[in-house]
Amino acid sequence: MNGFLQNFSLEGKIALVTGASYGIGFAIAVAYAEAGATIVFNDIRQELVDKGLAAYEEKGIKAHGFVCDVTEETKVQAMVAAIEKEIGEIDILVNNAGIIKRIPMHEMKADEFRQVIDVDLNAPFIVSKAVLPSMMKRRSGKIINICSMMSEFGRETVSAYAAAKGGLKMLTKNIASEYGEYNIQCNGIGPGYIATPQTAPLREIQADGSRHPFDRFIIAKTPAARWGSSEDLQGPAVFLASEASNFVNGQILYVDGGIAAYIGKQPG
Ligand code: NAP
Ligand code: GCO
């Protein structure tokens, strides 16, 4: 790799990607491995971690998997300690693990709201806090938070998710502000609508064989006129994890096919 492109290499780096047995986290971790990083990931259940390890193996990647619920601080601290002992200190953290509950707010239970905030906002705090001391000691680190279009916009039935992802945008800016002096960069990626298990209900073919109304809405609202794929996020994720972005801090990079810029197509 020539001099300039070396800035995009992740050779010798250790990356922890949370919730990365499949979906967006898996795609980002695969790209990191291809850029030279050692991959560490976690998921809630052993069978998911095993499934993830097999999927990485199929790609020729020897990943390290841990069973850990990112909302449980003692478990997260124990996982980070084990990673640092068994594999090495974490250079790159991607706070990817997330859930969504699509319930009209007036029908949503407080506990359901809290569950979404716990995974999508409290957990990125918990995991970032666990990796920061080592990054501060080494005066180097990358934290990437997977935000959302809902970091900027609301819509029906996703009040908890929008509150969490809006908070995650500001947590990103605050980590950038508080730890920039340690040469730690914290940025966000704001994916548009990506075809993963999380959005599968929004793309279900209807009983009459037609496309889901929301599917049609997103196609009309996206200048690229398509759903994104997890692979669309790989380049931006490698950039934000690499030396090439060392002076980028506190930014949310929207990878959305243009949704956030577009008023939307007139209904046909
Ligand atoms: P996904 O397919 O639902 O995958 C989410 C992953 O997070 C799963 O592996 C899940 O494991 C894991 N997870 C959930 N709760 C966890 C916890 N408490 N501890 C550890 N792992 C946990 O979602 P995705 O579409 O890949 O989304 C990944 C991230 O991108 C999320 O933060 C999501 O909000 C965000 N995002 C997605 C889109 C999109 O259009 N898909 C767009 C913008 C942002 P389990 O299978 O065990 O639940
Ligand atoms: C929804 C979707 C979105 C996407 C994503 C968009 O129900 O509106 O799930 O929230 O997951 O966050 O960026």
What residue's CA is closest to ligand 2, atom 2?
199
pLDDT at 144: 99
User: Atom of ligand 2 at shortest distance to CA of 193?
Assistant: 6
Q: What is the CA radius of gyration of the chain?
A: 18
Query: Is any atom of ligand 2 closer than 6 Å to the C-beta of 155?
Result: yes
Please tell me the predicted confidence (pLDDT) of residue 87.
Answer: 98
Per-residue pLDDT of the chain (268 residues; tens, 9 = 90+): 678 899 999 999 999 999 999 999 999 999 999 999 999 999 999 999 999 999 999 999 999 999 999 999 999 999 999 999 999 999 999 999 999 999 999 999 999 999 999 999 999 999 999 999 999 999 999 999 999 999 999 999 999 999 999 999 999 999 999 999 999 999 999 999 999 999 999 999 999 999 999 999 999 999 999 999 999 999 999 999 999 999 999 999 999 999 999 998 887 7
Q: What domains, with CATH codes, occur in the chain?
A: 3-261 (3.40.50.720)
Q: Which residues contact 80 (CB under 8 A, 6 or more apart)?
A: 16, 90, 127, 130, 131
149 lines ligand 2 (CB under 6 A): yes
Q: Kindly list the catalytic residues.
A: 161
102 ligand 2 Cβ < 6 A: yes
Ligand that comes closest to the CA of residue 158: 2
Q: What pLDDT shows up at residue 9?
A: 98
Separation of CA 22 and ligand 1 centre (Å): 9
Give the per-residue pLDDT at 1: 64
Helices (H), 153-207: 159-179
Read off the pLDDT of residues 147-169 as tens digits, 9 standing for 90 and up: 999 999 999 999 999 999 999 99
Distance CA 48, CA 69 (A): 12
User: Given the CA of residue 161, which atom of ligand 2 is nearest to it?
Assistant: 10
- Taking Cα atoms as reference points, which of 125, 90, 107 lies closest to residue 10? 90
Report the nearest atom of ligand 2 relative to the CA of 100.
9
Q: Give helix 234-241 / helix 23-34 axis angle, nearest 10°.
A: 60
Ligand 2 contacts CB of residue 193 (under 6 A): yes
Q: What was the pLDDT predicted at 170?
A: 98
